[in-house]
Structure 1
Amino acid sequence: MRLVLASNNAKKLAELKALFDALPLDIVTQGSLGVAEAEEPHHTFIENALAKARHAAQAIGGAAIADDSGLCVDALGGLPGVASAHFASVELPAAEREVQRSVQDAANNALLLQRLQGATDRRAKFVSTLVALRSADDPEPLVAVGRWQGEIIEAPRGAGGFGYDPLMFIPALASSVAELDAATKNAHSHRALAAAQMVALMRSAWHLG
């Protein structure tokens, strides 16, 4: 079964392919099919994920999955939340998408550290909300949510991952997310937790696997 990922993020595609490898799915990005990204005007992960999944499903006339995820920091009232990817206002260079993403990530991390300067409560969580649809008109969207608890450290650690991974420290693993190898991250992450729920839902509701 082909499942279109409502994203053009190559790293997110690689993560989801690994997490869904137990199911007979061919996951491809919407960009590879010429589908433009959807608007994300909502204030919650679930609303944005549903909007993205429906947009992709409508465009390709088939099944789609969307992940809306981000970092929620307790001391900031849940921010950056749905604005995680564009937390900082930054002028991006005229370069390929991954270079732009790297510049944005660095700016986001710098702003987060600035906003938390002097804060004693540095608790945070990565949240991933997955929504899957068989079609744009599917009345029964599958919804799965994963939360990965940690805390924001005062300086980046590690060279792996993307986004806020270098600043998110997981006490149970004694490492920042950026210091984890791919296998460990895929076993413990917010996206892994949501994906495990989604695999179970697809098996029961879509009769896959």
Structure 2
Amino acid sequence: MSTLPLAAGTKLVLASHNKGKLAEFSTLLADFGVTVLSAGDLNLPEPDETETTFAGNAALKALAAAKATNLPALADDSGLCVSALGGAPGIYSARWAGPDKDFDAAMARINEGIGTDERDAWFVCVLCLAFPDGTTHSFEGRVTGHITWPPRGAKGHGYDPIFTPNGETHTFAEMAEAKKNAISHRAQAFAAFRKACLA
């Protein structure tokens, strides 16, 4: 029996306008039996991410979508953290790409800011499931690895071309979707979400 009130047939809003992220979410949610609606399709505005943590921003986005639609909403906040940059770009990962979402420039900025022996990095994802009454449930995933340069691969999105998980020889952007979805930070957060919802 599910420990969360998210039954099969429920309409669930994905509080994201990022097409790459939406595709990944949709694959991970495929066997939940829920009807997935996207914030973009519903013309919901993107709230300003004013919190100082991944969990805070995920909750802010999920609550905004849940209250606007009167439906449960799922949001994530995720980012790449680089040890030599003090954990940056972190929660500002999207902002480093600027208004034009120029991740090539953002990746170059990271590489220029670290030394050849300072490549440790990790991806974090916090999922937040929010309900219209203000109730929230959060789930965190993390994967450690290192910065690879030059960027490799054309799959994935964001910083995937420069991140190689520990124990792997391919960047996230070189991996087949199924492989990435089995090991990524988002997959780990979804595993915790799945355990709570489908237990």
Match of 1:38 in 2: 47
Does structure 2 retain, via aligned residues, the 8 Å contact 1:126–1:190?
yes
Instruction: Judge conservation of contact 2:63–2:131 (CA < 8 Å) in 1.
Output: no
Query: 2: CA distance between counterparts of 1:67 and 1:107?
Result: 23
Cα shift readout 1:28-54 (whole Å, capped 9, x = no counterpart) = 211211210111011110000000001
**Residue of structure 1 in register with 2:180 after alignment:** 185
Contact 1:72–1:125, Cα closer than 8 Å, also in 2? yes
Pick from 3, 7, 12: which aligns with 1:3?
A: 12
Q: How many residues align?
A: 190
Please, which of 107, 110, 133 is the counterpart of residue 109 of structure 1?
107
Asked if structure 2 preserves the Cα contact closer than 8 Å seen for 1:105 and 1:164, the reply is yes
Secondary structure of the residue aligned to 1:13 is helix
Give 1:18 deviation, angstroms: 1.1
Question: Which residue of structure 2 lines up, in the alignment, with residue 207 of structure 1?
Answer: none
Identity %: 39
Deviations 1:35-79 (A, max 9, x none): 101110111100000000010011101100110000011111111
Once the two structures are TM-superposed, the CA of residue 170 in structure 1 deviates from its matched residue by: 2.0
Taking only aligned residues, the RMSD between alpha carbons, in angstroms, comes to 1.4
Displacement of 1:136 in angstroms is 4.4
TM-score, normalised with respect to structure 2? 0.91
SS in 1 for 2:117: coil
**Conservation of the 8 A alpha-carbon contact between 2:129 and 2:137:** yes
TM normalised by structure 1 equals 0.86
Runs of 4+ in 1 over 3 A off after TM superposition: none
CA contact (8 A) 2:120 2:147 kept: yes
Q: 2:89 aligned with 1:80, yes or no? A: yes
**Displacement of 1:175 after TM fit?**
0.7
Q: Report SS of the residue matched to 1:172.
A: coil
Give unpaired runs (5+ residues) of structure 2. 1-9
